[in-house]
Every structure is written in C-alpha cells, then in structure tokens.
Amino acid sequence: MKRLPIIDLSIIIIYLLAMVIVGLYFSRKNKSSAQYTKASGSIPGWAIGLSIYATFLSSNTFLGVPGKAFGSNWNAFVFSISMPFAAWIASKYFVPFYRKTGEISAYTHLEHRFGSWARTYTVICFLLTQLARMGSIFFGIALSLQALVGYPMSTIMIVMGICIILYTVLGGMEAVIWTEVIQGVIKTLGAFVILYLIINDMPGGISKVLETGNHDDKFSLGAFSPNFVESTFWVVLFYGFFINLNNFGMDQNYIQRYHTATSSKEASKSLWLCVAMYVPASLLFFIIGSSLYSYYQVHPQDIEIVRQQVAGEKLGSLASSHQISQLASTLKPEDYGDKVMPHFMVTKMPAGILGLVISAILSAAMSTISSGMNASATVFTVDIYKRYFKPELSEKKNLQVLYIGTVAFGLLGMGTGIAMIGVKSLLDAWWELSGIFAGGMLGLFLLGIISRQTKNHEALTATIIGIVVILWMTFSTYLPEKYYFLKNPLHKNMVIVIGTLTIFLVGLALTYSKRNFKKRFELVEV
C-alpha cells in the first residue's frame, strides 16, 4: 500500500473531472434517441476506429496481458494475429449488411429471419457477455488501484462506477466515442512510459530482456502441433478468429458504431484502423510483461512482497507468517502475474508519472465499461422494453428508458466485478466467460446470413443442440472422477469454436435433409 502523492492524486482527479465535463458538454445534444445511441450518423471513420481500438484496449489488456506474458509466454498474442482475418470478413459482409438494415440493434433482424425466440436468445447472450466484460474490467481496475491506495477493491469499484455512470448517462454515444479517442491516445502513451521505466532501471536493458526471455522460452507463441487439448497456437488462433468475428459481427458495441459513421466505407475503414493499431499495441503489452519478468529475475527480492501477499490471500487471515512464507516459496509466476504490473507502479514510478499512468489505466477501464453500458441500454430498450412492453414510446420516454438502462447495467457490471474478486487470471476469466456466451450467438447469426433456406424450426433445433454442447463442454470438467469418460477433452477456449460450428453445421444438415425429404416426397406423389 502507498499513499498517493498530491501531484498524482491531482492528475487523477483532473482526468475524472474532465471526463464528466465531456459528458456534460455532449448532454446538450441529446434531444433524441438517435443522437443518444448513434450520434445521428455524424462521426468520421478515423474517430470510430480509434474508439473501437480503445474498447479493445481495455484494462484486461492493460493488466491481464502483461500478467499473462509474465506468468507464461506470448501464446495469447495469437489472439491478436487472428484479428485481420475476422476484420476482412466483417468489413466485406457484416458492415454493409447492418448499414443496409438500418436497425440500431444487432439482433432485430434475427426475429425477421427466425422468429422472436432468436432475437431473445441472442439478446440474453449479449447482455451476459457484457456483464462478464464489465465485471472483469471493474475487477482489473480495482486490482491495480488497491495496491496504490489500500482501500478494499469493492469500495474502489463503487467510486469508479459512479464516475463512469455519470459521464456515460450524460453524454450518450457521441461522448463515449470522443472520450475513447482521447483515452486511446492516453493508454498508448502510458504503455510506452511503463516500458521505458522498466528498461531504464534494468541492468543490460533490452539485451537482458531478450536473453532472459529466450532462455526461459517467454516468447513462444505456443506449440504448432494439432493439439486441441492444451493452449496451442491453433487453439488460440481459432478462439481469436471466432471471438473477433463475434465482436465485429454480433457485438452491439461495434454494430452501434457502424451506424455512427457517415457511410459504409467509413465504417469499414474504422475496422481496419482498429486492427492496424491494436495488433502492435497488444504486442507492446506482451513486451511489457516479458520485460517485467526479466526485471524481477534481476531483482528477485523486489517481487517477494507480492508472493507473500498472494500466499496470504490463499491461506486466509488466520495463517501464520511461517505458513505464508512456505506457500510463497512454492508459487509460480502464473500464480501472481496479474499483480506484477500494479506492484511495479507502486514501487518504481516517480511522482507525476504515476498519476499519468493510473489515468491511462482508468481510461482503459472507462472506455470499455461506458461503451458496454450504452450498448446494453440500447439493446434493452429496443429488444426488450419496446418489443415486449411498450412498442410505441414517445421520444421523451424512450430517452428516459435509455438513461435508466444505462445506470442499471452500470450497477450490474459493478456487482459482477465485485463477485469476481479472487479469480486467478483476469485474462483467462474473461476469455472463458466470453467464449461460453458468444458461441451460440455467432453460430445462429452465421446460419441466418449464409443459409437463406434455413427456416425457424431447423434454426431452433440447431440452437438447442448447440446450447447443450456448450453447456457440456463448459461444465463437464466438474464431474466426479468416475465419470471421467464424459468430460470435455478439449481446451476451454474451444467452447466458442465447437459451439459456433455445432449450431451452423447442424442447421445446414437439417436444412439439407428437409429439402431432400421434400423432393423425394414430391417424386412419390407424382
């Protein structure tokens, strides 16, 4: 724990106040739901691209990626390598599709295609995904700030949640996008500052990072063998491709941004700008993680307090110092990777710089949470409230529901973050939860957009089978040993891959079988 110097505290307060002022400034424009949800289609492509980049560059990236690189290697970077493939498909097919429909919700067209159940199912999956995303972001920011201020993580989440809710409710989507443009720049500069401080304070500098990393295999992208049981190169590549395809094709956070662009061309450009910025930026955070690993190999005594802290958390308050020390000596880097970056900030960053970097981490959290709140409120208003309760809403009432929804989802996301306190790896937790909820959404969407002959019954049957497969893959690992033969043998990141393919392929098979059956029946009648 460390009391923040006045200069750092002042920088953080100024940053938070600036975000609220931005929300107040844009609140004057929010006279309609179209302005609140899609900025009336007036945002340039480059700003949307920076906004999407800032959403990707969340505190899961800022803290989770260095923690992952510190604890293992660069296997998770394959996720970023998969992004261009997903972006190509999205820019060529998905962006024109959504711009043509004109629907602000990403899920309205599924009701036209398959019925109300399809829309309801994907909306539920999306909202659960958003709660998992916002919860992991809240948890990540609290994990960092706890080491700096010493307050309980739940208290930090509540204070931050109030600030984020305030500027998001006031400003709407236009405020979210323009603040994310600023936040994207702040985050990137903050990452470079952290890397400079690590390298500058380490004997041997970059050469030492390369030497230690090569010796301990820290730069590996994973095994290239066709092994889907472990986190190999191929497992992460397939996971990354499907989750990014879901992000660009089914996630309301991104679909809503397509509608804020002045044209389809500008919307497609924004995707490619995001990819061009995020891939090297994510590499930067892996370099930071590997540099921290090398740094604490040179200064092992400086990381001992983190090992002691993690051991104490595992054993509880009744454990003796001897028990804590014994457990601490057995801990591996992956057991405390997420705490390394906050520890370095606490102990090694000079006054002033620390405030700037904390502001960068705050911006990483705020951009993702604010966009998630706005998107969730939009989906709730369009796909739930107006669909099932009050189809005809006045403009004033529509805005009121959007405001209430934004606040409600901000509070729910905060509660999810509090519930996540104690997870081992921030990045792993987010990847696992997003894979579970996103698999069914993407499979159903691909079935609807690719196979025009698939009807309601085939899609519903395929979705039910897909949900069963996803649930089995997720929860069969908890079965007792005597039911070992029923356990999912694949890596947990394969849930979204298998879930998506199950719904899509089963739907195609049912459609093909039904068509053949009809043809044979017609021949028999003749």
HSE of 412 in the Cβ direction (CA atoms, 13 Å)?
17
402 located within any domain = yes
Q: Is the pLDDT of residue 168 over 80?
A: no
Domain CATH for 95: 1.20.1730.10
CA angle 353, 63, 200 (to 5 degrees): 45
Q: What is the pLDDT of residues 463-474, one digit of tens each?
A: 999 989 988 988
Neighbours of 515 (CB within 10 A): 11
Residue 442 counted as domain residue: no
Q: Does residue 469 belong to any structural domain of this protein?
A: no
DSSP 374-435: HHHHHHIIIIIIIIII-SS--HHHHHHHHHHHHHHHHHHHHHHHHHTTT-S-HHHHHHHHHH
First and final C-alpha spacing in the chain: 84
Residue 518 CB-density burial (10 A; 0-12 exposed, 13-18 middle, 19+ buried): exposed
Tokens for 108?
């309205």
Question: Given pLDDT bands bounded at 50, 70 and 90, which one contains residue 523?
Answer: low
**pLDDT for 449-465, tens place per residue?**
888 888 889 999 999 99
Record the tokens describing residue 243, joined without a space: 């989750």
Does 156 fall in a domain?
yes
Beta bridge partners of 43: 261
Q: Helices 233-250 and 495-525 sit at what angle, rounded to 10 degrees?
A: 70
**Which of 97, 42, 47 shows the shortest CA–CA distance to 445?**
97
Q: Please tell me the pTM assigned to this model.
A: 0.80
- Tell me: the pLDDT tens digits for 267-288? 888 889 889 988 999 999 999 9
Closest CA to 57 of 383, 510, 371: 371
Average pLDDT, the chain: 82
* Lowest model confidence (mean pLDDT) among 133-137, 157-161, 243-247, 421-425: 421-425
Instruction: Specify the pLDDT at position 288.
Output: 93
What's the pLDDT score for residue 508? 93
Mean pLDDT, residues 115-126: 88
Percent of the chain surpassing pLDDT 70: 89
What pLDDT score was predicted for residue 233? 95
Q: What is the pLDDT of residue 1?
A: 45
Name the E strands within 157-230. Answer: none
Q: Is residue 509 part of a domain?
A: no
Count CA atoms within 13 Å of residue 494 on its CB side. 18
Q: Considering the domain boundaries, does residue 383 fall inside one?
A: yes
Is residue 427, in this structure, part of any structural domain at all?
no
pLDDT digits (tens, 9 = 90+) for 398-438: 888 888 888 998 899 888 888 877 665 555 666 666 667 67
Confirm whether 438 is domain-assigned. no
Q: How many residues does the chain have?
A: 526
Q: Which structural domain, as residue segments, surrounds residue 286?
A: 6-30+39-422
Task: Show the tokens assigned to 230.
Answer: 């472990």
Burial of 84 per CB tally in 10 Å (0-12, 13-18, 19+): middle
Q: What is the DSSP letter of 5?
A: P
Task: Report the candidate in 180, 366, 193 with the shortest Cα–Cα distance to residue 274.
Answer: 180
Number of domains the chain is built from: 1
